[in-house]
Amino acid sequence: MRRHMLPFVLPVVLVAAWALASAAGKLNPYLMPPPWEVWDAGVDLARRGLLTKHIQASLIRVFVGFSVTAVCACVLALIVHLSPLLHDTLRHVLTVLRVVPPLAAIPLLILWFGIDEASKLAVIMLASFFPVYMNVLTALRQTDRRFVEMGQTLGLTTGEKIAHIFVPGALPGVITGLRLGFGYSWRALIGAELIAASAGLGYMITEAGEMARTDRVLVGILIIAVLGAAFDALFTALARRWTAWQALTVDDHGRV
């Protein structure tokens, strides 16, 4: 069997085990409905157009929230890196913001921004800002000082150093940060959609949970999982492309 098929084996085995256990009557169908019922629930939701509606609502939120965060975090990291003074000024404020779980801030956010999109976006931003910011800043810190010196002897301007040395040198770290940050924002989405949403995968799950529709809850969870994994794969593919110069790229299992 091909090596690249290997990561798909375990998921298939798990679903098969789930199906077998259900068929054998080992699982309480109210707590853990069999896979085919989950599938039917998904098809039903899709037929009624609910699935696309919820997916669309969630995707838009995540993309808007995450794009704004990613841009802000990268720019702030670059500015802070180039200005040690600003770094010291912001240090404690950023640390405090970083260690407070975004969900803890939800009551405040609702009071500040109301129950509309703004407060949900704020949760996503709080959740994904720091993974991106910290990774980008670390990556910039680790930019080889020897390359910066070399650029200095070439008489490069600050802008040229950013474009030709800092940014490409930090790119692998930036991509790691974006990957992590996207994961966080995707997860925070459920928290965000607990806030009186009327659409979104998080809303769909909460609603289904209140009606004890475990099959729909599972549909929601599986869709979140599959979409999250798909975007992660997309990031990895982009990372490969953008950092092709790294003869050896390490994936998260340390394989090269």
39 belongs to the binding site for other proteins (CB under 8 A):
no
Q: How far apart are CA 172 and CA 168, in angstroms?
A: 8
149 belongs to the binding site for other proteins (CB under 8 A):
yes
15 belongs to the binding site for other proteins (CB under 8 A):
no
Q: How far apart are CA 17 and CA 23, in angstroms?
A: 10
CB of 26 to other proteins, least distance (A): 54
CB of 41 to other proteins, least distance (A): 48
CA distances (Å), origin 88, targets 35, 82, 93, 143, 186: 54, 12, 10, 20, 31
162 belongs to the binding site for other proteins (CB under 8 A):
no
The residue within the footprint of other proteins, chosen from 87, 164, 187, 213 (CB under 8 A), is 164
Q: Which of 181, 189, 251, 176 is nearest to 225 (CA)?
A: 189
The residue within the footprint of other proteins, chosen from 32, 156, 199, 222 (CB under 8 A), is 156
Please give the backbone phi and psi of residue 243, each rounded to the nearest 5 degrees, phi first: -120, 40
- Of 88 and 144, the one with the shorter C-beta distance to other proteins is 144
Please give the backbone phi and psi of residue 116, each rounded to the nearest 5 degrees, phi first: -85, -160
CB of 75 to other proteins, least distance (A): 21
169 belongs to the binding site for other proteins (CB under 8 A):
yes
User: What mask of x and - would describe binding to other proteins in positions 171 to 200, judged by CB under 8 A?
Assistant: x-----------------------------
Can you give 10-67 as a three-state secondary structure string?
HHHHHHHHHHHHHHCCCCCCCCCCCHHHHHHHHHHHHHCCHHHHHHHHHHHHHHHHHH
- Of 35 and 168, the one with the shorter C-beta distance to other proteins is 168
154 belongs to the binding site for other proteins (CB under 8 A):
yes
| Residues whose CB falls within 8 Å of the CB of residue 181, separated by 6 or more in sequence, listed in order | 66, 69, 70, 73, 128, 129, 131, 132, 135
Q: How far apart are CA 137 and CA 182, in angstroms?
A: 17
168 belongs to the binding site for other proteins (CB under 8 A):
yes
CB of 77 to other proteins, least distance (A): 19
- Of 156 and 227, the one with the shorter C-beta distance to other proteins is 156
Pick out residues in 212-251 that bind other proteins (CB under 8 A).
Answer: 243, 245-247
- Of 2 and 153, the one with the shorter C-beta distance to other proteins is 153
Let me know: does 103 contact 113? Beta carbons within 8 Å.
no
DSSP 194: T
* Contact residues for other proteins, defined by CB under 8 A: 146-147, 149-150, 152-156, 160, 164-165, 168-169, 171, 243, 245-247
